[in-house]
Chain A
Amino acid sequence: MNTEKENTEKELLFITVIGEDKKGIVASVSTFLYEKNINIEDINQRIMGDGYFVMTMLVDIRHAAISMEEITKALEKIGRDLELRIQLQHENIFKMMHRV
């Protein structure tokens, strides 16, 4: 059945993309994630009250080919290229802040 690695717990992080809506955001980020063997669990996007486009991706990095530090750096570069803010944060911080 499952290998030992697949049995390990998911390591879930949120990628938050903030900025102006434009073509290629999902494509750029998801291509990068695919290449680095990072699974996307969920995607949501919304235009906020203050006019910002916000996309969140919940990703599982348990099988990622690169470290968290490298993922952060690569996402920052994609952010600079597309003129967007991209943040990577472990899901625990959201659970702690927004759930009692």
Chain B
Amino acid sequence: MAITVEEVYETASMILYQNLDIRTTTLGINLKDCVDSDFNGFRKKVYDRIYENAVKLVTEARSLEMKYGIPIANKRISITPVSLIMESHCEKNKFIEMAHTLDQAAGAAGIDFIGGFGAMVQKGLTKSDRMLIDVLPEVLSQTDRVCSFLNVGSNVAGLNLDAVNLLGRMLKETAVKSKNAIGCAKFVVFVNAPEDNPFMAGAFHGVGEGDIALNIGISGPGVVKAVVARNRECDLTRLSEVIKRTVFKITRAGELVGRELAAALEIPFGIVDISLASTTAAGDSVANVIEAFGIEKIGAHGSTLAVALLMDAVKKGGAMASGNVGGLSGTFIPVSEDQGMIEAVEQGALGLDKLEALTSVCSVGLDMFAIPGNVPEETINAIIADELAIGIINNKTTAVRVIPVPGKEAGSCVEFGGLLGTAPVMAVNPFSAKDFLRRGGRLPAPVTSMRN
């Protein structure tokens, strides 16, 4: 059946007026075979592997943007968790040198972020994992493009509280060392981290992956908002249906670009991550989608139901559209990267407590939010531990990207610029969980039956 004018116009409108783009094409690269007892030789192999692949990615992605008239916003690289390949070079200076090598390779190839300077520590820390955490304040403040992650828990391992307890201090040190605390925006702590997530700052190329894979992240809050706005009066069943249909379409566009890009690069196609990812561009906001449902401001009572409906519809539409759905696949609700979220916090509609509640039904967690710089490190650890407990008990990925901003009080604002946006500084509960967290150890893995 021929494509109709209406169908062509629908696609063109999504791109021209509703900010539809392919949010990221992320090339996952295995670096384990680069390891060498000669550290300079090792670094050179890492640099060359990243640079050569990244240049090809950028070139081929540009050619597909032209063919399909759809912007590919970001071209990125994820690598084998760095603590793993540094086991035999476990020295502070070498870790920092390796971070600079990654930064330089990405920069030379025109890549804005390279993910994977991290470790899997859900059961315990190796010497290398510990060293990696120790150097993070230097790495995150001295490099522009290197993103870091830690996976500190999983359904089968429980939560490694000893690892969490290292993070408050690390983040506060990073914040002090980098302008506007921006180094903290490049670090995510996870439980149940997917090994094929294409989105930064948490992307890495997991040890279960092959030598190389291309992963795609689509976007589309603007497109979903437009369809919700056209369906003001329908009930929830119908609302879910119209969102599903729209997400189906945008996922198919992602699948097409992913398959063709992988074929052009002569590498396997990995996954499509169907997460709705907002930007600070006008109309490209997940909060605005929730508000189009009929909620005055995100954070109002009713918002958790709304996010749950959105999440579920996005997943159903995406799963029908692609056999390769993976990564995080849901809905991101970062504060600083979403104009509607920023306004909700500034107007008092959304606080940290409700944000945490929303993350129990969204795909990721507490993302890109600023807190006062004088919040004690134990309280930062407690915020992280709470959020990650939600993930472990509910059998899902959760994560935290928190920015303690030195010298800022709740109610003030910090400007990161570019993709990272503007963060209103949020108030934190002043009471302490210090003595509880000091117990350390590991939250046992939860039972997976008796699921009420």
Contacts and interface: CB of A to CB of B under 8 A. Distances in A.
Interface stretch (A22-30, A31-39, A82-90): A82-90
Interface stretch (B11-19, B37-45, B161-169): B11-19
B66 A87 contact: no
Contacts of B256: 92-93, 96
Contact of B253 (A48, A69, A88, A93): A93
Contacts of B15: 87
Interface of B: 1-12, 15-16, 66-70, 249-250, 252-253, 255-256
A99 B11 CA distance: 13
Contact of B3 (A48, A55, A87, A94): A94
A16 to B, nearest CB: 5
Q: Is the interface of B mostly helix, strand, loop or mixed?
A: helix
A97 B247 CA distance: 10
Contacts of A54: 5, 8-9
Interface in A1-43: 14, 16, 18, 42
A46 B3 contact: no
A16 B255 contact: no
7 contacts: A48-B9, A54-B5, A85-B16, A87-B15, A87-B69, A92-B68, A97-B7
A14 B2 contact: no
Chain A interface size, under 10 / 10 to 19 / 20 to 34 / 35 or more: 20 to 34
A97 B11 contact: yes
Contacts of A92: 68, 256
A58 B16 CA distance: 19
A97 B4 contact: no
Given A72-B69, A87-B15, A92-B256, 8 more contacts: A54-B8, A87-B69, A89-B67, A93-B256, A95-B3, A97-B11, A98-B7, A98-B11
Contact of A97 (B2, B6, B66, B249): B249
Contacts of B9: 16, 18, 46, 48, 52, 54, 56
A27 B158 CA distance: 68
A70 B15 CA distance: 21
A94 B7 CA distance: 7
Interface in A61-79: 68-69, 72
Most buried by B among A16, A18, A96: A96
A18 B15 CA distance: 13
A98 B249 contact: yes
Contact of A90 (B5, B68, B255): B68
B70 A93 contact: yes
A84 to B, nearest CB: 12
Contact of A96 (B16, B69, B253): B253
Contacts of A44: 4-5
Nearest to A42: B2
